[in-house]
Amino acid sequence: MRPIYTGTIKTTPPEADGRLNAPAAARNLEPILAVLTDYMPQAGHAVEIASGTGQHCAAFAAAFPNVQWQPTDVVPERLASIDAWAEAARARNGASNMAPAIPLNVEQPEWPLAAGSINVVILVNLLHLISDTAAEAVFLGVSRLLAPGGRFFVYGPFLREGKFASESDASFHASLRQQDQDIGYKDADDVANIAARYDLAVLERRNMPANNLMFAFKKLSTHISHMRFSLAVPRGVIIFPY
Ligand SMILES: C[S@@+](CC[C@H](N)C(=O)[O-])C[C@H]1O[C@@H](n2cnc3c(N)ncnc32)[C@H](O)[C@@H]1O
């Protein structure tokens, strides 16, 4: 398994109860909730990949109380913070629709959730921190998890037609590449094309604050996504223009 990158944005020190707080996650919450509101089902099961501090998942669970939320991450300290956010919500208003966090590395061969059992998956600010191969594994894994008609939301920074949206995006990408040649920004069109290969159709690609984008995908009902051969596609087939 490859190294894990948690992102360059610092979390503030934990609260006494273990909750980490990321200022960036607080800033992008409202615009993300606005997109979710337009496409979320009334009820069902949702999974967040790479939940980070857990503050987003706690806010999603509060905003969509009839949806059961399953947060995940790979870093033990983050898993503990996620659970602390769930516990704080329970103590505040008795909310019980956020399950204990489970470890999930998008690159692990089997994901610890039943195929076809999930209605919503959300992924915020991870694709630029992982390799092209891992990004492909995300779409395979999500496609396997989602029931037909399920939704997949992806938020983050992207290239548009091979170009950076700003100088600061270009230097952020360069700093990621300096850490690891295999990670960095993905092109929005390439991401939509990968999604299509896994039966995920774009419902909307929305411009978000600070040059970010958010995709809302819908899972179509075919069988291709449940086959494992997709991961065996040679790396060179996925060509990102940088
Ligand atoms: C930039 S943070 C974003 C966290 C959260 N989604 C947010 O927006 O605040 C990236 C997160 O991805 C997690 N992560 C990194 N590599 C991962 C992998 N291969 N599989 C799953 N999660 C991963 C890190 O532990 C970290 O919590």
145-168 pLDDT tens trace = 999 999 999 999 999 999 999 999
| Structural domain includes residue 60 | yes
Residue 113 inside a domain? The answer is yes
Q: Tell me the residue range of the domain where 157 lies.
A: 23-237
Residue 7 lies in a domain: no
Report angle CA 164, 55, 168 to the nearest 5 degrees. 15
Residue 11, domain member (yes or no): no
The single residue listed with the structure tokens 């769930």 is 86
pLDDT above 70 as % of the chain: 89
Give the chain's domain count.
Answer: 1
Is 16 contained in some domain? Answer: no
CATH number reported for the structural domain that contains residue 212 in this entry: 3.40.50.150
Per-residue confidence (pLDDT) for residue 232, from 0 to 100: 38
Rounded distance between C-alpha atoms, residue 102 and residue 224, angstroms: 27
Q: What percent of the chain has pLDDT over 90?
A: 83
Atom in ligand 1 nearest the alpha carbon of residue 78 = 27
Q: Which residues line ligand 1 (CB under 6 A)?
A: 4-7, 22, 25, 50-53, 56, 73-75, 78, 104-107, 124-126, 129-130, 134
Domain annotation covers residue 132: yes
Residue 3 domain-assigned? no
Cβ atoms within 10 Å, residue 54: 32
Q: Among 126, 136, 172, 183, which is best to mutate for testing ligand 1, by the most ligand atoms less than 8 A from CB?
A: 126
In a domain, 14, yes or no: no
**pTM attached to this predicted model:** 0.91
Distances (CA, A) of 140 to 106, 147, 151, 181: 10, 13, 14, 23
